[in-house]
Structure formats: C-alpha cells, structure tokens
Structure 1
Amino acid sequence: MAGRLRAPTGRYGGKSAVERQAERRRRFLDAALQLFGDTPGYRATTVAALSEAAGLSTRQFYEEFRTLEDVLTALHLEVNDWAEQAVLLAVAAAEGLPLPERAAAMFRAYAANVTGDPRRIRITFVEIIGVSPSLEEQRLARRATWVDLVCAEAKAAVARGEAAPRDYRLAATAFIGSVNGLLHDWNAGWVDATLDEVVEELVRQLLAILRPPGWKPPGT
C-alpha cells in the first residue's frame, strides 16, 4: 500500500477531524500495548485483531498507519519517551544532591517507569528485536539517547569534582547494556532480588565507573 487512506475532515460529534484522528491513533496504540506487550505479541497480531481490540475498523487503521510495524515503531518511541521524561524529572528534582543520590534518583525513576508495566519491558527489550533494519536503527538510536544522558551526567560530575575526568562514551554504552539486561532479567524472574536491590547495584556499578580505584577528588 502506497500510503494511508485519507481520513474524513470537518467536525463531527463536537470534535474536529484532528481531534478524532488523535483519538483513533491513541486507541490503536493502547490496543497495541496490550496485544504486542502481552498476548499474543507483535508477530502473532493481525491488523484485524488490533482493530477489533481498539474498537475500530481496519479502514480506520489504514487511515492512521500503513502497517503493524508502523504501530510498533510509534509504540516503541512512546514507551522510551515515557521513561526519559520520568528520568529527566528525577534529575531535575535531584539538582544539587551528591552524585550517589543523583544516580539513585535517576535509576529509581527509570526502573519504576519501565518495570511498572511489564508490557513496556516487552515492547522495549523483546518485541522490537529482529523486526526490520529500520526498527533496529531506531532501537540503537534510542539507546544512544540514554548513552548521551549518562555521558552528560558524567561530565557534570567531573565539573563538580565528583568523578574522574575521561571520555565516558564507551563506558556509558557498555553500562546502558547492563542496565537493560539486568532490568529485563529481573522482570523475567531470572534475578533473585528486589527492585530496590537492582537499583542499588546499578548505582554501585555507575559509581565504580566514575570513580575508579586510585582516583581521589580534587583537593584531597
């Protein structure tokens, strides 16, 4: 199919065409979160099943999306955006706190947001894998956003004299992989620990990266 069908224009039921389109899109994404993130999963979901779950028609689906992959693409971005917003709010609230407390606030916010709904973890770490080159590119781009955030925090910590000066990009990339892997395994029941213990471990790992053995704060 070359593109989406054209949606109706004008007001209907007191809502504009733009408002109706946004509502339809929201219903499709909410239905996709349930079907892709739970049962039956992205690969076993059809356009007809998603439309039925959203309480809409397949014609309305094609007015909003071209393919189910487009839905997964939008949902993956949204789930990541929710987590990023939670982390940025936590970072802002932790302004002025010592590095260990700032790191703990970041990871508590991220872990709570991602694990608060198991469907979000499945979308982020499972369903997105191996779908297509474009989705893989998006997954890596979103991971790069998290790497940038860690690097920015590391740079700020260096400026405050709380971390050793160095290029942290390689370490941050490896660390983000550890974060994602640990949270996925914890959610799957493969890690015998509480979520607080998982967060504490992540904080210890980050501090070990930022404060390697032998490093001392300036002036000590």
Structure 2
Amino acid sequence: MAIFSHAWRLFACLGVGLLSIPAAADTPGEFDFYVLSLSWSPTYCKQEGNNASPHQCDVRDPFRFIVHGLWPQYERGYPASCQGVRQRIDRQIAVDMEDIMPSHGLVFHQWRKHGTCSGLEPEDYFDLTRAAYEKINIPGAFETLDKRGKASPETVEKAFRLANPGLKPDGMAVTCSRGEFEEIRICLTKDLEFRACEGVDRSGCRQDSMSVPPPRSR
C-alpha cells in the first residue's frame, strides 16, 4: 500500500494521471476475427444527398449493398490505424475495387484505419475483402427491391441466415440510422468462416422497425 501511495504521489507531482498513460500500440496482425460490414447504399445516398459520393450515387445502375469495410476485431474492441505500416496505397487498388467499394476515398480510409491492422499487404487485404464479400449470399428481396419498405432488424437477420447456411443470430448485427436500415455486419474468422461475436451482436439496431429506402432512380 505504501509503495502504491508513493507512486500515486509521484504521478500527481508530475501532473500525470494514471488513466492518461497511453496503452500499448495495436500490433498489425494481432486480432481475433473480422467484421465484414455491408452498407445499404440507398440509405447512404438518400441521407447524404448532395454530399454523397457521385461515384456511388449518381450512376445509371444504382448500387445496393456495397462493402463498407473488412475490420479486424478483438473480442472486445478493435485495433485501428496501426503504425509501422505504409499508409498510402496505389490508386489502382481503388480502381479495381470500384464494383463493390465505389468510393475511392472509402477505400483509402479503410486501409488507413483498418487494413493497416490486418498484417497483410494492401493488395492482399483488398483481395481478402473481395473474397469475404463474395462469400455472402444477398437475400433475393434486396436484389429486387424497387420501392420503400419496412423491416425489423430481426427480419433482415433472418433473411441473411436463410441465404447463408451456417450464419447464426449471434454472428451478425443490423445497424440503423435515423430510422433507416444502414448496414449488416457479419463476423468471420481469419479464414472467412462464420463465427459468433457477442459484442458485435449486442451493438445492433434497437428499433422494432426500420425503413428500407429503394435505390435512387435517375
């Protein structure tokens, strides 16, 4: 106890609180699983309006689900913006991802914040992102939706479970924004197998019903 009191007084004299001591930096490649976040593009385009990415929203064939990101996760929390890894990536990577990540700014941001913590080279990280996206079967209702609808988070989760055998209720979360369906987040092992993730599951939308905007028509 005396030693602890002495240490506390020392920190106080130095003007440093114990809680202000920085945590150890996140280490690239050291994490527990991935979250694949798929955004419902019509919600983004509607809510952002004139501020939305024109490459995503002002297109002849509107996007439906796009990849928001593939995020390394801890069982609690997640690493972010890992250091000791190159931050800038070749623009050609963003060009190659346009069909599932139509905003170049999104691609660059996802690499800096999440990809740098994957332990992978940029090309390999985005190849894995594409493989994760291609693993998921999108429920048919979302492929054909052409007018505004309503759904509960549970209904959306059920549709994804039925379309993806092995995907469990505690292995995903539906998010909402301003009363509208925003994203579905699916938990995957490093080998892209479905897995449980209680922390992610608990973070889902709490509303009984969400509006589901249709793709924007030109």
Q: Which has the higher contact order (CA 8 A, sep 6+)?
A: 2
Shorter-chain TM range is under 0.3
TM-score by length of 1: 0.25
Higher helix share: 1
TM-score by length of 2: 0.25
Higher strand share: 2
